[in-house]
Amino acid sequence: MKALAKRAFKRPTEHPQLPQNILAKPKVIPRDKHPISRKDISPPALKVLYRLHHAGYQAYLVGGCVRDLILGLQPKDFDIATNATPEQVRKLFRNCRIIGRRFRLAHVVFGREIIEVATFRGHHDLTDDERANSKAVQNDKGMLLRDNVYGTIEEDAQRRDFTINALYYNIADFSILDFADGLRDIEAGTIRMIGDSVTRYREDPVRMLRAVRFATKLNMRMDESVADPIRELAPLLQNIPPARLFEEFLKLFTAGKGLANFDMLVEYQLFQQFFPILKSYLKTPDDAPYQMLRQTFSDTDERVRNELHITPAYLFAALLWWPLQARLEQLTVESGLPVSDALNVAAADVLGRQQQTIAIPKRLTIPTREIWQLQYRMERAKGKRIQTLLVHPRFRAAYDFLVLRAQTALPSEQRELQQRAQFWTRLQSEPAQVEALAASGPSQSPKKRGRRGGRRRRPKATS
């Protein structure tokens, strides 16, 4: 908000509240009254905006990118809204592909940058006859399953979730259209829903996650009408496809606000829907499992701030560690399996249960398993096996996880884990110590002894 104060623009006048928070006529903020400059907009986004405009279509930057530019932040994505259909957009751009089932979108691809172009959405509250011919589909809980109903910019603004996202930057005259007093809420630091919050959450339960994410990212507070229904409606997240929840997981916990998001999600009973396998570990904040979760997100946030590499596999390894231990202990007692075999079975069970909620891709489950396996290999490594572990591709993540365990372990285990963490820390800083341990270690497999006497040679023939 400090950046906003430096870039002053004309404050919108007050108005009587209208149904669904939508103004009868949008407020138009001209170019000289707002801080958005084209030099802050991605060149590919400008290219798409101008081509749509010159082709006779309406073209607007919309949503979060407009909000972030007003706040002086660098948007992660630039989204565009237009009255052109996805098929018409594809005719203008050879580098365009149409995606989406719930709502069809046009993606215009410029190398690694993708500009998302959405057609203005219309209302789906139709009559029975109109609904029979409509492309909008809802389930019995009110959630939108398919929403390919096109409309006008006014209808599209009413379909937006929060007032701070109902802002449109017009490439035709560089003005901003404010349909829901979003600028006023940005100045006030308030997240307010467009329309009835319960209805909007039922349409798309992911909006509850978005409300939390915007609150922590933008340092804003949720209006009571936004926050109050969340605890009761949190179980609706069980109806969201696991693949979509995986995307939301990345947005919440890999962007530098993981700890703040975790605390707020737990408070509103949303994290428990993300990770139902962790419900029993979230009851007492002072317990070791709870502290490990908070420390995990704190460490990840620090790495993001320092622009260091992070991997979601490490997060999943830490989050699911305690359920893994419980399952491993159960298997060891009941089946008598060796630790290595029991660990593989326990890992498969725990990851399988979690994937019913979040679709963790294989590219992450494999390194997650390796981080777990390395915890036991680091405990028993001797001799040349130490060198093998030090050059393992997952060693650094496994070492960081070992340090995390030492910091948040149960009192009965903490001393042993701290000694083990210090041992591996010292090895990384003293290469000579590694060579000495490798030379003296008993881990070399004995060489096979050859047949006594060697191969018998045939005597040379005599004349």
Q: Is the pLDDT of residue 250 over 50?
A: yes
Q: Quick one: CATH architecture of 2-195?
A: 2-Layer Sandwich (3.30)
Model-level pTM?
A: 0.82
Q: Residue 368 pairs with which residues in a beta bridge?
A: none
Verify whether residue 79 is a known catalytic residue: yes
The two tokens of residue 238 are: 């069980």
For residues 413 and 406, give the distance between their C-alpha atoms in angstroms, rounded to a whole number.
8
Q: Is the pLDDT of residue 2 over 50?
A: no
CA geometry: angle at 59 spanning 55 and 60, to 5°?
165
Closest listed residue to residue 161, CA positions, set 186, 190, 194, 136: 194
Residue ranges per domain, the chain? 2-195, 311-440
What tens digit of pLDDT does each residue of 126-183 get?
A: 444 434 444 445 555 545 445 568 899 999 999 899 999 999 999 999 999 999 999 9
Q: Which residue matches tokens 């986004």?
A: 45
Q: Is the pLDDT of residue 125 over 90?
A: no
Verify whether residue 196 is a known catalytic residue: no
Burial 391-414 (b: 16+ CB within 10 A, else e): ebebbebbbbbbbbbbbbbeeeee
Closest listed residue to residue 252, CA positions, set 303, 212, 192: 212
Q: Is the pLDDT of residue 203 over 50?
A: yes
SS (H, E, C) 197-221: HHHHHHHCCHHHHHHHHHHHHCCCE
For residues 389 and 395, give the distance between their C-alpha atoms in angstroms, rounded to a whole number.
6
Residue 125: CB partners within 8 Å, gap ≥ 6? none
Verify whether residue 301 is a known catalytic residue: no
Catalytic, out of 40, 77, 263, 400: 77
Q: Is 177 helix (H, G, I), strand (E, B) or coil?
A: strand
pLDDT for 9 equals 36
Catalytic, out of 68, 147, 156, 161: 161
For residues 264 and 215, give the distance between their C-alpha atoms in angstroms, rounded to a whole number.
9
Mean pLDDT computed over every residue of the chain: 86
The two tokens of residue 426 are: 């010292």
Q: Would you state the torsion angle of the CA atoms of residues 375, 379, 382, 386, taken in this order, to the nearest 10 degrees? A: 30
Q: Would you state the torsion angle of the CA atoms of residues 183, 185, 189, 190, taken in this order, to the nearest 10 degrees? A: -150
How is domain 311-440 classified at the CATH fold level? cca-adding enzyme, domain 2 (1.10.3090)
pLDDT for 407 equals 94
In which band, very low, low, confident or very high, does the pLDDT at 441 lie, cut at 50, 70 and 90?
Answer: very low
Q: Which residue matches tokens 């339960």?
A: 205
Q: How far is CA 61 from the centre of its chain?
A: 23
